[in-house]
Amino acid sequence: MKRSHIVLALIWATAAAGPAYADEAGAAAVRAAIEKMTGGSVEPDSVRPAALHGLYEVVLGTQVVYVSADGRYLLSGDLIDVAQRRNLSEERRSLIYKAAIDRVGEETMIVYAPERVKHTVTIFTDIDCPYCRKLHNEMKSYNDAGIKVRYLAFPRSGIGSESYRKTVSVWCAKDPAAAMTRAKAGQKVEERSCDNPVRRHLELVKELGVNATPTIFLEDGRRVPGYVPAQRLTEILEQKR
- The SS3 of residue 74 is strand
* Averaged pLDDT for residues 69-78: 88
Q: Confidence band (pLDDT; 50, 70, 90) for 32?
A: confident
Give the pLDDT of residue 33. Answer: 83
**Among 129, 150, 165, 172, the one annotated catalytic:** 129
Say which CATH topology domain 104-237 has: Glutaredoxin (3.40.30)
Report the pLDDT value the prediction gives residue 1, as an integer from 0 to 100. Answer: 43
Cα torsion 113, 114, 119, 124: sign = negative
* Architecture of the CATH domain 3-84: Roll (3.10)
- Which position among 92, 132, 133, 150 bears the catalytic label? 132
Identify the active-site residue in 133, 150, 156, 165: 156
Cα 220 to Cα 208: distance, rounded to the nearest angstrom: 15
Give the pLDDT score at 4: 40
Residue 156 annotated among the catalytic residues of the structure: yes
Other Cβ atoms closer than 10 A to 209? 13
The mean pLDDT value for 70-91 works out to 91
The whole-number average pLDDT for the span 90-109 is 96
Using one digit for the tens of pLDDT, what is the confidence trace for 169-215? 999 999 999 999 999 999 999 999 999 999 999 999 999 999 999 99
Where do the domains of the chain lie?
A: 3-84, 104-237
Is-catalytic flag, 81?
no
Rounded CA separation 55/27 (Å): 10
Which bin fits 146, alpha (ψ -120 to 50), beta or left (φ > 0)? left
Annotated active-site residue in 126, 165, 172, 222: 126
pLDDT at 86 over 80: yes
Question: To the nearest whole number, what is the mean pLDDT of the chain?
Answer: 88
Binned at pLDDT 50, 70 and 90, residue 73 comes out as confident
